[in-house]
Amino acid sequence: MFSENDIKKLVEQVLVEMTTKQGVATAENVINVLNEKSIVDLDEMIPDITEVDIKNTLLIEDPTDREGYIKMKSHTPARLGIGRAGARYKTETMLRFRADHASAQDSVFTDVNEDLLNEINLITIQTKCNSKDEFITRPDLGRQIANEELTKLNSFAKKPQVQIYVSDGLSSKAIEANAKDILPALIQGLKVYGISVGTPFFVKFGRVGAMDVISEEIGADVTCVLIGERPGLVTAESMSAYIAYKGTVGMPESRRTVVSNIHKGGTPSVEAGAYIADIIKLMLEKKASGLDLKL
């Protein structure tokens, strides 16, 4: 990381190179100003722009109907009322856009916190991907699990009515934000219905299709994966549940039932857990999932 002194030297060097001999004095004046007033406060953190609720922020100057505009913004995460500076976005709007984009990238390329997995007692198995880069570029490997990894599940109960597992997918933040709340709600909901549930676990570098391998391995009637979805500029914490009745490797995607937008700004984790339990109960009754299941 650059120190404050490094930044001053860099500014001086660039300005001197860009100016004529007569202009060197201008560069020196800039450095004098920097010496008089620090441009970086090393004792304070830079404010986190993502903490600002864009639903309550109106950047248009003197709107005709301010209250109406704010009311409209409160009903959508879309970037409305951002104003402009000439033909360009305002600085605050552009910074927020870049911050949200960076957050989405971080969610894809970081791993789920191991402390969280230990806290909720999830053992980890891994797909045939060996890194995040391979996971992104080889989705086929994210659907396959090596036999040596599957042997870690040998001690688990076979053929439960329902097998639930968690997978990072495309958003580690989704797992960290939702897993602790949705798992207990879902398991408790199923137990209230008298439905047996296998031991949950975690699949690293997992795509949705990995659930078919697990379904065949465990032999559950219903398999449910709680997986991080592709993050966007609205949130990087969105989780989905993909559920299938007697899933098999190579089955059509139409056999999966999906519950999406599980996050604090969509369907809250606890509420989603209870809803998924209802869907699984119906699947067991109707012996169907996906397009064959009428919800």
The CATH architecture to which 49-109 belongs is: Orthogonal Bundle (1.10)
Is the Cβ–Cβ distance between 292 and 285 less than 8 Å?
no
> What's the pTM value of the predicted model, to 2 decimals?
0.77
**pLDDT at residue 34 above 80?**
no
Q: 239-245 and 222-228 as β-strands: parallel, antiparallel, unpaired?
A: antiparallel
Give me the residue spans of the domains in the chain. 4-36, 49-109, 114-292
Closest CA to 231 of 106, 96, 117, 137: 106
Helix, strand or coil, per DSSP, at residue 177 = helix
Please provide residue 88's backbone torsions phi and psi, each rounded to the nearest 5 degrees: -110, 165
114-292 shares the fold of 49-109: no
Domain 114-292 coded CATH 3.40.50.2300: no
Closest CA to 257 of 218, 219, 284, 217: 284
**Tens digits of per-residue pLDDT, 2-14?**
566 666 666 666 5
Helix and strand totals (H; E) in the chain: 10, 6
Quote the CA–CA distance of 159 and 245 in Å, as a whole number: 13
Is the Cβ–Cβ distance between 255 and 245 less than 8 Å?
yes
Report the pLDDT value the prediction gives residue 7, as an integer from 0 to 100.
Answer: 65
* Percent of the chain residues past pLDDT 90, beyond the cut: 57
